[in-house]
Amino acid sequence: MATNENLPPNVIKQLAKELKNLDETPPEGIKVVVDDDDFSTIHADIDGPAGTPYENGVFRMKLILSRDFPHSPPKGYFMTKIFHPNISSNGEICVNTLKKDWNPSLGLRHVLTVVRCLLIEPFPESALNEQAGKLLLEDYEQYARHARLYTGIHAKPKPKFKSGAITESTTALNVDQTNTSVLNADSKTVPSNAALPPLLMPSTTAARGASQDQAMGVLTESSVNCSTASAVASAAPAPQKKDIRTAKAQADKKKLDARKKSLKRL
């Protein structure tokens, strides 16, 4: 494996400075992956430019620096499969900047920018992928269809982890545990021979089909109804003592009349 020992100290120093600059202020659509232990291989992720068949794709590429860099150009390769006239099936990049137009004064930023521009403006005249070059010249729609197909299959961006999803799941789990605790506590206060209310005995299908919000709504509504019923019961006026006495007097009178009728018969 190549290491920094393969490069002269002055080159390592210059590369470290340039890589730091690329990391702090990356070019548009390009993210450099820095490995402090190996400057001889530079990795970068390139976003497919908008309006091209490579749009919405993320392409990993690498630049391999030889020991006599920067006097000789780096070699460029696409690690992500791509359908492009100037990129071969093994990922080799064909662009004049990395060949006859190379200049030691050109930096990594310039090289990476040129490679991304190649996705916007291919050069079919110097094609490494002859099929892609021919299609681009003769039938652009067919070429674009192939390029989009490759992009959709091989250059899908990696899904980003959503921190909110964990929070949502944790909240839902806590709500479920709280509801379970409440139901268990209520069931303990009910006699074993008493019939449980429908709220505490949902059918399996209904329980699985109901959403958490509906369950919470039912619990809230039930609590409100119970509270209302209790309030009405407590607000109802107590029976007057006068009514109780009247009822008792009427009962005594009936008993007395019945005794009189029995004596008359005797």
Q: How confident is the model at residue 80 (pLDDT cuts 50, 70, 90)?
A: very high
| Residues belonging to the active site | 94
pLDDT at position 6 is 73
Does residue 71 surpass a pLDDT of 50? yes
* The pLDDT value given to residue 234: 43
**Lowest mean pLDDT segment, chosen from 34-38, 139-143, 151-155:** 34-38
**Structure confidence at residue 260 (pLDDT):** 56
Give per-residue pLDDT as tens, 203-244: 433 333 443 444 344 334 444 443 443 444 344 444 455 566
Q: Where are the domains of the chain?
A: 4-154
**Least confident among 8-22, 61-75, 165-179:** 165-179
Architecture of domain 4-154: Roll (3.10)
Question: From residue 35, how far is each of 19, 23, 217, 234 by CA, in Å?
Answer: 10, 11, 54, 76
- Number of Cβ atoms within 10 Å of the Cβ of 2: 15
Residue 82 has pLDDT above 60, yes or no: yes
- Quote the CA–CA distance of 31 and 112 in Å, as a whole number: 10
Average pLDDT estimate for 64-75: 92
Distance (Å, whole) CA 190 – CA 199: 13
Higher pLDDT, 104 or 254: 104
Q: How high is the pLDDT of residue 215? A: 37
pLDDT on residue 173: 44
Dihedral sign computed on CA atoms, order 247, 248, 251, 257: negative
Calculate the average pLDDT of the chain: 75
Q: Which two tokens stand for residue 164?
A: 């909110």
84 DSSP β-pair partners: 87
Element (H, E) at 163: helix 163-188
pLDDT at 183 over 70: no
- Identify the band that residue 248 occupies on the pLDDT scale cut at 50, 70 and 90: low
